[in-house]
Chain A
Amino acid sequence: MHTKLVSRILLAFMILLLLGALPLMAQDEGEVQELGTGEIEINFWSGLGGPDGQSMTDLVTRFVEENPEVTINYQILGWGTFFDKLSAAIVAGSGGPDLMTLWHSVVPQYALTGHIMPVAEQMFNLGMLDKDDFSPALLDSVAFGGEVYPVPFDNYGAGLYVNTHLLERAGIAVDDPPESGEEFIEYIRRLTWDENGNTPNDAGFDAENIEVWPLSIGWHRITITPALYQWGTDVVTPAPDAEVLIDSDAAKEAVQYYHDLVFEHHVLPGVNWSGELMLNDGLSMYLDGAWTYNFYNTNMEDGQIAFWPYPRLGPERGSTIMWSHTLAVTSNVEPDVLEATMRLIQFLSDNSREHSIKTGMPSARLSLRTADLAEQIWTFGPLTTQMAAEGVPEYQSERFTEVENIMGAAYSSIFTGQQTVEEGLDDAAQRIRRALR
């Protein structure tokens, strides 16, 4: 009787252990890596995961090898929870990072409230970095009160990944991207096939049984925000005196363009990640960020995927969105840690070309974006050429997280047919105004 009871308890305990181990096995981020053994400790929180994260880890590891007096407590956190954890740690005053990666769009949240310092300005003044080696538009976007706060590490954008097998099937040349919104729609019609091999231009096209989808519009920050610029508008005007523009007629026209693509031209609304669908020749075009280069580069057959600039759709101007992962330092960092942290930032910036080659993310340093990179990275040429000519840094706001959540939900409502474009954007504008009060 006693033995039976013990064996049952043991069995139950083993089951619990196995079940409890499941989430632990899935855990691949959030752990602190202690790199180096030096006396000066830098707590570095990075939001870069995947190939970006590996490349950054390699650089940080090299830095501590060359600087044995430094230890880096290096932690990779997913972007989904990064800002929640970061802000909580900053407010708590302990347990947070000395150095962190920040999207340039969220910098006002931390700069205007005094939680990060103008480290870039200090490094320019000390001659550690050359101010003229960065895009002025990018530096302006992270400058407040005349001082540049974080150091831009990379400078990337988005564009149109295209499946060359399907371009060939449609008789479209790889070096012939669409020149206008109308031509883009024509391409979409030619790059859609039903189960019988008909396109929407053919009689008998079966819209209920599509075999090859023309386009997935992906994440709204990649797809719709540049379109807003092309219609001469934005979500909000820059911080700190933000004016809400998302319910303007121009914004509604821009979103209506994408709405019509989804509801009239069989474009996937981008609810789910469509990278594999593209590799399986089930998707012709995918609007996505520069970071996806690595995914295709690793998984595609030779030359299956090519890259075009973000298409010109609107009446005002061509444009693409521009982002940057910046390196920011908290305000309360100790002097010796600050000195080592600035050396680390300088090292990362100086080696950002290596990061570009591994990840496809262009360096923020103009001198490191050499022409030969376009031969090594097939997204590089179209991306950097368009960014230099038409790149617009994403809007910023002191309430960026809140505004973005509101916009994400609004686009989701519009593209799943819950609301019209007008209803969705009017509601979003009202909520953003309330958030910015």
Chain B
Amino acid sequence: MTSKSVSADRSNPSNWTLTNKRREAIAGYLFLVPYLFFFLVFLAGPVISAFVTAFVEWELLRGTYRFIGLENFQLIMEDDLFWIALGNSLYFATMTTVGNVIVALCAALALKSIRLGHTLFRVVMYAPVVLSISVIGIVFSRLLAPFGLLNAGLELFGHDGFNYLADPNLVLPSLSLTTIWWGFGFPMLIFLAALYAVPEALYEAARIDGAGRWQILWQVTLPLIRPALLFIIVTQFIAHIQVFGQPYIMTNGGGPGYSSYTIVLHIYRNAFSYYHMGYAGAMALSLGVVMFIFALVQFRLLGRYTEY
């Protein structure tokens, strides 16, 4: 059949029949339409809008809206609070991601090695994830208060305790520990799935070759779960650099002073308390760039795959 004859056939509506393959493809696209609609309206749209906002002066209460080019980014360079908040967020994200990976990995290794109560422990350890940050924030504020449960426990051992949330040096580690307790259940499940995917034969081979537990962990387990590790580190870092609820609820919006003031709090305050929408948009865009750079570095460092 020549191309001319195909063209002639298609010009006749009676010949418009679809192959099964095409019909399936169209059905697939139709199924994607609802998702695409919400994606465009609630994700792509706001992202594009935020991008545009970064280049305008938009004072909500005053009603001003004008294009000012890169002026908002110049303001960021002069804004010491932006840099304090970014530093706090990076410190918090690093501490919490490392803590989460260690705790989640240990929990997953422990769960894989036990038989009795496996499901119960898995549920118990995952349970905090389903709580909202409001609940976590209020409970831990009381737990970590000067006359709270934790200090009451320390008093039994003759220690005066600490002012966890009012001490500038302790506040971010305290928020980080709270967050690790709250969130390690999710990475634990990912690690658990990755651990089950490692072929048992490789462990047997390592043991036959005389490898000890640590050697097996470092030489067999960790290299083989590297994709899961990369996924956890990248997603956890991106999530934790955007920390908001913990300082908002537990430290009265970033105190003491600016010790727990984070970048998303700074963006939120500028956007919704001070109404500098353009400036907040520029900071959000800058934060996006920072996260992208860190994700790239993490992919670069951990992106190698290991196969045996």
- A and B: interacting chains: yes
Binding site for B on A (CB under 8 A): 12, 15-16, 19-20, 22-23, 26, 83-84, 87-88, 90-91, 109-110, 113, 115, 271-272, 399, 401-402, 405, 408-410, 412-413, 416, 418-419, 427, 431, 434-435
**Is A434 touching B145 in the complex (CB atoms < 8 A)?**
no
From B33-41, B56-64, B98-106, B191-199, give the one contacting chain A: B56-64
Nearest A-chain residue to B249, judged by Cβ: A80
Interface: B289 (CB within 8 A): no
**Is A416 touching B167 in the complex (CB atoms < 8 A)?**
yes
Binding site for A on B (CB under 8 A): 60-63, 78-81, 123, 127, 130-132, 134-135, 138, 145-146, 163, 166-168, 253-259, 261, 269, 272-275
Known: A87-B60, A405-B269. A15 touches B127 (CB 8 A): yes
**Is B272 touching A88 in the complex (CB atoms < 8 A)?**
yes
B168 contact set on A, CB distance < 8 A? 416, 418
**Is A409 touching B255 in the complex (CB atoms < 8 A)?**
yes
**Is A90 touching B257 in the complex (CB atoms < 8 A)?**
no
B255 contact set on A, CB distance < 8 A? 408-409, 412
Partner of A435, one of B123, B146, B274: B274
A271 contact set on B, CB distance < 8 A? 163, 166, 256
Interface residue SS majority, chain B: loop
Q: In the docked arrangement, what's the CA distance between A401 and B273, Å?
A: 7
Known: A109-B61, A115-B61, A431-B81. A413 touches B256 (CB 8 A): yes
Query: Which of A83, A84, A399, A412 is the most central at the interface, judged by chain B CB atoms within 10 Å of its CB?
Result: A412
22 inter-chain pairs at a CB distance below 8 angstroms, sorted by A residue, are A12-B123, A15-B127, A16-B130, A23-B132, A23-B134, A90-B61, A110-B61, A113-B61, A115-B61, A271-B163, A272-B166, A405-B253, A405-B273, A409-B258, A410-B257, A412-B255, A412-B257, A416-B168, A418-B168, A418-B256, A418-B257, A419-B257
**Is A272 touching B274 in the complex (CB atoms < 8 A)?**
no
B259 contact set on A, CB distance < 8 A? 418
Known: A109-B61, A113-B62, A431-B81. A412 touches B256 (CB 8 A): yes
**Is B61 touching A87 in the complex (CB atoms < 8 A)?**
yes
**Is A23 touching B272 in the complex (CB atoms < 8 A)?**
no
**Is B146 touching A113 in the complex (CB atoms < 8 A)?**
no
Q: In the docked arrangement, what's the CA distance between A24 and B195, Å?
A: 38
8 further contact pairs, Cβ within 8 A, besides A19-B130, A87-B60:
A26-B134, A83-B273, A84-B273, A90-B61, A110-B61, A402-B269, A409-B257, A412-B255
**Is B135 touching A409 in the complex (CB atoms < 8 A)?**
no
B249 to chain A, nearest CB (A): 10
Q: In the docked arrangement, what's the CA distance between A418 and B259, Å?
A: 9
Nearest A-chain residue to B251, judged by Cβ: A412
B256 contact set on A, CB distance < 8 A? 271, 412-413, 416, 418
Q: In the docked arrangement, what's the CA distance between A90 and B275, Å?
A: 12
The 10 A-B residue pairs with the shortest CB-CB distance in the complex, in nearest-first order? A413-B257, A416-B256, A412-B256, A271-B166, A113-B61, A402-B274, A91-B60, A412-B257, A412-B255, A418-B257
A87 contact set on B, CB distance < 8 A? 60-61, 272-273, 275
Q: In the docked arrangement, what's the CA distance between A90 and B274, Å?
A: 14
**Is A416 touching B166 in the complex (CB atoms < 8 A)?**
yes
B274 to chain A, nearest CB (A): 5
**Is B61 touching A399 in the complex (CB atoms < 8 A)?**
no
Q: In the docked arrangement, what's the CA distance between A412 and B257, Å?
A: 5
Nearest A-chain residue to B165, judged by Cβ: A271
**Is A23 touching B135 in the complex (CB atoms < 8 A)?**
yes
Query: Which of B62, B138, B256, B258 is the most central at the interface, judged by chain A CB atoms within 10 Å of its CB?
Result: B256
A418 contact set on B, CB distance < 8 A? 168, 256-257, 259
Q: In the docked arrangement, what's the CA distance between A83 and B254, Å?
A: 18
Q: In the docked arrangement, what's the CA distance between A401 and B253, Å?
A: 13
A84 contact set on B, CB distance < 8 A? 272-273
Q: In the docked arrangement, what's the CA distance between A333 and B81, Å?
A: 39
Q: In the docked arrangement, what's the CA distance between A83 and B275, Å?
A: 11
B123 contact set on A, CB distance < 8 A? 12
A88 contact set on B, CB distance < 8 A? 272
A435 contact set on B, CB distance < 8 A? 274
Q: In the docked arrangement, what's the CA distance between A277 and B163, Å?
A: 17
A82 to chain B, nearest CB (A): 11
**Is B146 touching A272 in the complex (CB atoms < 8 A)?**
yes
A174 to chain B, nearest CB (A): 29
B60 contact set on A, CB distance < 8 A? 87, 91
Q: In the docked arrangement, what's the CA distance between A427 and B131, Å?
A: 38
**Is B257 touching A416 in the complex (CB atoms < 8 A)?**
yes
Q: In the docked arrangement, what's the CA distance between A416 and B261, Å?
A: 15
B295 to chain A, nearest CB (A): 31
Q: In the docked arrangement, what's the CA distance between A128 and B285, Å?
A: 52
**Is A113 touching B273 in the complex (CB atoms < 8 A)?**
no
Nearest A-chain residue to B60, judged by Cβ: A91
**Is B61 touching A91 in the complex (CB atoms < 8 A)?**
yes
Q: In the docked arrangement, what's the CA distance between A419 and B257, Å?
A: 9
Q: In the docked arrangement, what's the CA distance between A175 and B15, Å?
A: 104
A110 contact set on B, CB distance < 8 A? 61
B130 to chain A, nearest CB (A): 6
Q: In the docked arrangement, what's the CA distance between A22 and B274, Å?
A: 32
**Is B273 touching A402 in the complex (CB atoms < 8 A)?**
yes
Partner of B131, one of A22, A401, A416: A22
Query: Which of A15, A16, A87 is the most central at the interface, judged by chain B CB atoms within 10 Å of its CB?
Result: A87
Q: In the docked arrangement, what's the CA distance between A271 and B81, Å?
A: 22
A399 contact set on B, CB distance < 8 A? 274
A90 contact set on B, CB distance < 8 A? 61
Nearest B-chain residue to A417, judged by Cβ: B168
**Is A19 touching B61 in the complex (CB atoms < 8 A)?**
no
B136 to chain A, nearest CB (A): 10
B161 to chain A, nearest CB (A): 14
Nearest B-chain residue to A92, judged by Cβ: B60
Q: In the docked arrangement, what's the CA distance between A393 and B135, Å?
A: 38
A317 to chain B, nearest CB (A): 31
A115 to chain B, nearest CB (A): 7
A4 to chain B, nearest CB (A): 12
Nearest A-chain residue to B147, judged by Cβ: A272
A222 to chain B, nearest CB (A): 16
Query: Which of A90, A413, A435 is the most central at the interface, judged by chain B CB atoms within 10 Å of its CB?
Result: A413
Partner of B261, one of A12, A401, A402, A409: A409
Q: In the docked arrangement, what's the CA distance between A2 and B269, Å?
A: 51
Q: In the docked arrangement, what's the CA distance between A81 and B281, Å?
A: 21
Q: In the docked arrangement, what's the CA distance between A431 and B80, Å?
A: 9
B272 contact set on A, CB distance < 8 A? 84, 87-88
Q: In the docked arrangement, what's the CA distance between A256 and B166, Å?
A: 21
Q: In the docked arrangement, what's the CA distance between A84 and B146, Å?
A: 30
B139 to chain A, nearest CB (A): 9
Q: In the docked arrangement, what's the CA distance between A40 and B142, Å?
A: 45
